[in-house]
Structure 1
Amino acid sequence: MKQAASYGRALELVAVLNDCNTPEEIMRAVAKNMMSQDLKIAIQLRSDTETFNYDADTEECSAIELQVFEVLKGHGRIYHFGRRTIFNDNHVSILFKNMPLEGTFLFDAILDVAAKLILAVNSRFLSILQNQSLLETRNKLSAALDMVAKGISSIEEERRELVEQIGLKIGLSFHQLDMTEEQEQFFAKLVETEIRSKETSSGLTQLQALISECVEEMVLEEGNEAESKTDEQPAGADNDIELF
């Protein structure tokens, strides 16, 4: 019965992981699930730039636990030492601090479940990192879009001032030229038209439109991901993690 219950709780955890949106939520979900089976764990999640640690008892991992993670994260997928067992994947390590006695059915069940669950934890963690990276990229693009918009406004304002200055200087110089009033008006209009035709910063405007389109597409993708996540079947029906 305990073996069947262990598999059942593992399926529940896979479903819960799909609703986790931060590394902290992942670690708490795993710890809570294992605590319901009287299993005490410590868990570590690792990205290229940051490491997250959580202990089921104290929330913060002890110095010894951190040292265990550091030393054993590269010692294979499963490593036993005493009543403790550590399960490793590329970005995740889970330390079980009170494993059942080796050779019992419960020990074998937990060994099997944990070895497969860590794949689901690793996968969800990478998904969260990717989503966070997309959000950061979108924010940077939005900031760049604001800068481009301000740059376009500034350039066009400078050009308008330049047009006015050139027009004024041309108007003041007409008295030195032997032109009729009609010729002066035609010449002034021609110069003004040609200069104003170059006012629009077409290159920057195209860049602004491109960045804006990228930001809008990223927002749409986030919305589609949220909808597909809501429509997903519970209990990991289509999940690649096989527990049996």
Structure 2
Amino acid sequence: MQKETNNWFASWFDTPYYHILYKDRDYEEAQLFMDNLTNYLNLPEDAKILDLACGKGRHSIYLNQLGYDVTGADLSENSIAAASKHANDTLHFEVHDMRVPFEQKFDAIFNLFTSFGYFEQDSDNVVTLKAICESLSEYGFGVIDFMNVKHTIDNLVPHEVKTVDGIDFHIKRFYIDDHIIKEIDFEDKGEKYHFVEKVKALTLQDFEVMMEEASIYLLDTFGDYKLRKFYKNESERLIMIFK
């Protein structure tokens, strides 16, 4: 049986099964979010954008199509290899740990689709925020698109079976020890697999505390991809703009 490592994200995100399970993500919604976000930030036409934890680069590719100079970064070598097939003179991809600042400075850094709060040590979350801030240009903006923990916990589906490409993914979800856990079990080609997604249940207040520690100024918050007002109990997302 395939076991997850201590850093669950290092093993799970690097498997082809991760991309199979999530292959039906809403590209139209993602593009709408990028349209709304870049318009709100009023980025210059040739702005340099970092898509941090970019996966296979769906946001990066679209941002580049909008005319921006985009760098996609992710810890998963397999994801970066797949994304790099779309690279061009103004679209680059690299394997990178989000806790490490970039030498290059960016006009905007996007951390999207709940790609935060994975680390075992809480201090690494603050380190990541500081790295983001250090990688921004003088007038640059940081954006974190996180789940709204209250809404997510209230609407957790404890168990479901999702069949994709002939594979039955048995998914369990629960909240324990300030973390939202997703256990994923399946069998393929006679071998059984078990993976875990574990995300710290960070509230807006938690982010505010960490941002203060990282000397970051929170400019605005939104509750969905249409950039509507954030409501603690109702909003599906917690989108934070900072610098």
Which TM-score bucket, shorter chain as reference? under 0.3
Higher-Rg member (1/2): 1
Structure having the higher helix fraction is 1
Structure having the higher strand fraction is 2
TM-score, with structure 1 as normaliser: 0.26
TM-score, with structure 2 as normaliser: 0.26
